[in-house]
Amino acid sequence: MVFYLLLALPAQAVIVENLYRAEVDVADHSSRELDKATRAGLAQVLVKVSGSGTVLQDDEMRAALNRSERYMQRYQYLRQPDRSLRLQIHYDAQLVTELLTGAQQPLWTANRPPVLIWLVLDDGRDRSLVSADTQPELVAALNKELGRRGVPAVFPLQDLQDAVALGVYELWRLDRLAIYRASQRYGVGNILVGRITALSDGRWMGDWLYLHEDTDSATSFYGKELEEFSAEGIDFVADHMAQRYAVAAGTSQDKAVLIRVDALSKYSDYREVLAYFEGIELVDAAWPAYVQGSSIVFRLQAQAEAEQLHRIFALNRKLQRLESPTPLPRGPIDTQLTYRWSR
């Protein structure tokens, strides 16, 4: 299992692995179960790669599910500790990307910012912060759902500094100012806060709050299982984050985008920037078009407009956008975006 919970690591955008892989429980090795699992797995991947919880409502996506074997690269059966059987399926990244972009569906690249998760639980006797030590099953459920949606996450350390900045009472009443203050040390732009309480009838009631800069969104939960609470919370934050970071590509033809990057003083800097551009799913090709001192203008053949690409570039802390750059003495002047490279 791939762990998506990054404990107190630097919270800049990370590369999420296995976006094009799915795992589906199966009853046996029969072709019927294989067909069902291949379809279910492709549905998982389409949601994870697009970032959209509603992508499967699209007619082209439903048609693709009926021929899901076309998108499959390889698969293997995994015997679980409880002796149940699970099928791990790898799908073709290029075919899936072409399917989504061809249908003008959003594409959330693998370069994704993490979300910081604060969670407090009331078990009827006491309220406490949730951690892997206090509520391992709930944390495991969250981890599973984070993997399902491809969302990297950070859990707070819950050390003395956290305790001073944010008490259980403040967290329970969703004190936004206190939550922002306590979250600053983690350097994140996306915060998810959950509170859940056990009811006398065995059910659970709770709330999820998503914070980003000066905006917030909330949703409520009422259900039988903590796993449902986890699934709804991660779907809630994944949909909101994808609305901010996913890009809907056009279908007509690739666009030529000129990107200027300053302060590339070393050859290794140039190679790193070029590799970064080439690694973005919406960029089909990238090459240097003009060099002037430590400034390089890159020509990108992309499936998105310049400002759409900037939403992706902004996640790279080494690329600092220059709003009013000094014109180059020679060479192209119509660059759509200009950045300064910061090591």
pLDDT in tens, 37-71: 999 999 999 999 999 989 999 999 999 999 999 99
Q: Is 0.85 surpassed by the pTM of this model?
A: no
Exposed/middle/buried for 55, CB within 10 Å: 0-12, 13-18, 19+? Answer: buried
Quote the CA–CA distance of 337 and 334 in Å, as a whole number: 9
| pLDDT, tens digit, 9 for 90 and up, residues 294-325 | 999 999 998 888 888 998 898 888 999 998 88
Q: Where are the domains of the chain?
A: 18-107, 110-247, 255-341
Q: CATH for 110-247?
A: 3.30.160.100
Q: SS3 sequence, the chain?
A: CCCCECCCCCCCCEECCCCCEEEEEECCCCHHHHHHHHHHHHHHHHHHHHCCCCHHHCHHHHHHHCCHHHHEEEEEEEECCCCCEEEEEEECHHHHHHHHHHCCCEECCCEECCEEEEEEEECCCCEEECCCCCCHHHHHHHHHHHHHHCCCEECCCCCHHHHHHCCHHHHHCCCHHHHHHHHHHHCCCEEEEEEEEECCCCCEEEEEEEEECCEEEEEEEEECCHHHHHHHHHHHHHHHHHHHHCEECCCCCCEEEEEEEECCCCHHHHHHHHHHHHCCCCEEEEEEEEEECCEEEEEEEECCCHHHHHHHHCCCCCEEECCCCCCCCCCCCCCCEEEEECC
Residue 255's pLDDT is what?
Answer: 79
- Give percent of the chain with pLDDT exceeding 90: 75
Q: Report the pLDDT value the prediction gives residue 2, as an integer from 0 to 100.
A: 38
Work out the average pLDDT over 208-214. Answer: 93
Selection from 288, 318, 313 nearest residue 300 by Cα: 288
Phi, psi of 225 (to 5 degrees): -120, 145
Amino acid identity, residue 28?
D
Contact between 118 and 191 (Cβ < 8 Å) = yes
What mean pLDDT is predicted for residues 232-256? 84
Distance CA 208, CA 193 (A): 6
pLDDT at residue 158 is higher than 70? yes
Calculate mean pLDDT across residues 98-114: 92
